[in-house]
Structure 1
Amino acid sequence: MRLFVLLFSLLLAGQQALAQIRPYDDIVASGVLKVAVYQDFPPYSYKQDGQPRGVDVAVAGALAEGLGLKLELLWMEPGEKLDDDLRNYIWKGHYLRPNEHADLMMRVPYDRDFTFKRNELGELINERVAMFGPYQRECWQVVYDTRRLKDVPSIAVFQYHPIGVELESVPSFYLSSVMGGRLSSHTQHFRTPSEAFAAMRAAKVDAVMGLRGELDWLLSHSGDAKLKAAENAYPDMGRQVWDIGMAVHESNRQLAYAVEEVLEGLILDGKVKTLYEAEGLRYELPGLYQDVQ
């Protein structure tokens, strides 16, 4: 009987979470757009002196304003996989946090392979999610200290110079395995990109590798003219450039169409680029818009 009650309670909680998906008309009537952003993830979404900051927050605010709505942020604690975040904040909700359900989620890959990813049974993993609205192109980046490293013509220089990366990140796995593992002994791991960057400034490593946006932000806030963004490529890495978009529940495509219309105007009139530059970031148009400009 206890097991039955527990299972029934979990099922009821799941149904309650699903019931919180608000149709577009209800969102408009409420006057509020609930947008999920990642917590403690500068320069994309974070708090400074208790106030929301970051480019995802700024873009979400501009979208809400364009829809004539007030922005309400839901701060996401990332799960083990992005699939978990989409499930917990977009299409199902979490039974421990039934009220944390977003209308729109930021920083989702705009990628056909990810959209149509299937599990071991051949079922679509994210079939209840509509991914749309690319608003930024992201890539990997190396930043180096010119006092200790004259140039980075290729990653081969890290056979001789130490480089910092975030633990268990793509750059971590890449630099530990590329070129037959010859860079692994000079690859140092840190808890966050910020810690890796601080280690470079303290002369513990000569360079760092991470997301361009994160390193641009750290670089712009460093005030150190001797730190420089490299222009090298990453052989044998696979995908090095990708577009970032948004997600809604698959039943809420009317919201997606409305958001996409506002977003297109913000991108084409340069508003999104201005928001990025205000955070000290370079802005690159997503592929969808590169032929338009």
Structure 2
Amino acid sequence: MARRLVWLGLWCSALLAVCTPLQAQVRSYDSIVESGVLKVALYQDFAPYSFQQDGKSRGVDYEVAEALAAGLGLRLEVIWAPPGEKLDDDLRDYIWRGHYLRPHELADVMLRVPYDREFSYKSNEFGELVNELVVMFGPYQRERWQVAFDRRRLDAVPSVAVFQRHPIGVEVESVPSFYLSSVKDGMLSQQTHHYSNVQQAFAAMKAGEVDAVMALRGEVDWQLKLAADEQLALAENAYPDMGKQVWDIGMAVHESNRQLAYALEEKLEELILAGELKRIYGHYGLRYELPGLYQEVE
């Protein structure tokens, strides 16, 4: 009987080992340098920040990652990351634990992470830090929400109140979608049209289905560059009752890899001060705004 219990215990242990994915290993800074490769997680299909076109990697974040890797004397290797439901999921899958489909693969660093103290120290219902295994650092861009409109059908956008009478396009399940559907007691909801992505929203504006589009400023700038239509204009309205409307974008590494964070921060500052990031953003038709950390220096 005892021997059968021992074998049963061994069998259960073996089964557990097979069914449970091994914890992905975080590469130390020395291991990264020795490998000659910097593994960077970039969001997939997220133009103009990171995307692939005609088999080539493109985007602002891709070129920033390439410049950072080169600054460290390393070759860039991109890990394309389909966005999860929450940023916490993405940080878990690509920075500290690994995705179940890629249990042994972690990125050394992830780009386009909010540089926000409140988010960094967010707690769960038990008072535990949600992202205690992650260090968020290196702000490299300030982001905002933006409305673009067609002057053939709309003279100006002094406030969001105009969208009680004019239809506006947004990406489904996005912040603009929730905002325009709820602000002013839902008075704009009937004129808020939802599309799979920002590109489709702009196509709808071109077709006359909507008179304006609201999205991230970078996405709007990119679509305006592609459209090359002088009748499309940028609005300068505010967004009452929206909450956070301006935030900084940075990077994230595993909390054990602060040495990599320090090295990347040093190279990033060189790129910003040399005007290299402004050049990269301009290449895609995007306006570049310094993050708050560097605005304070000025």
CA distance in 2, matches of 1:10, 1:151: 59
Matches within 5 A, 1:30-45: 30-45=35-50
Aligned partner of residue 83 in structure 1, secondary structure:
helix
Q: Give 5+ residue unaligned stretches, structure 2.
A: 1-7
Aligned length: 289
The amino acid across from 2:68 in the alignment is L
Normalising by the residue count of structure 1, what TM-score does the alignment of the two structures yield? Answer: 0.96
2:158 corresponds to which residue?
Answer: 153
Aligned partner of residue 205 in structure 1, secondary structure:
coil
String of CA shifts for 1:141-166, please: whole Å, max 9, x gaps: 00000000000000000000000011
1:62 corresponds to which residue?
Answer: 67
The amino acid across from 2:22 in the alignment is G
Structure index of larger Rg? 2
Identity %, equivalent residues: 67
1:106 corresponds to which residue?
Answer: 111
* Pair 1:186-2:191 in alignment: yes
Normalising by the residue count of structure 2, what TM-score does the alignment of the two structures yield? Answer: 0.94
CA distance in 1, matches of 2:12, 2:198: 45
Aligned partner of residue 243 in structure 1, secondary structure:
strand
Matches within 5 A, 1:1-293: 5-11=14-20, 13-15=21-23, 17=24, 19=25, 21-293=26-298
Deviation at 1:6, TM superposition (A): 4.5
Deviation at 1:78, TM superposition (A): 1.2
Aligned partner of residue 297 in structure 2, secondary structure:
coil
Comparing 92-101 and 184-193, the one that deviates more: 92-101
CA distance in 2, matches of 1:183, 1:156: 8
The amino acid across from 2:295 in the alignment is Q
**Contact conserved, 1:14 with 1:93, CA < 8 A, in 2?**
no
**Contact conserved, 1:14 with 1:92, CA < 8 A, in 2?**
no
The amino acid across from 1:184 in the alignment is S
Change (3 A) 1:8 1:264: same
CA distance in 2, matches of 1:152, 1:145: 10
Q: RMSD over aligned Cα, in angstroms?
A: 1.2
Aligned partner of residue 145 in structure 2, secondary structure:
strand
CA distance in 2, matches of 1:242, 1:152: 23
Q: Give 5+ residue unaligned stretches, structure 1.
A: none
CA distance in 2, matches of 1:142, 1:94: 35
Structure 1 runs (4+) deviating above 6 angstroms are: none
**Contact conserved, 2:22 with 2:104, CA < 8 A, in 1?**
no
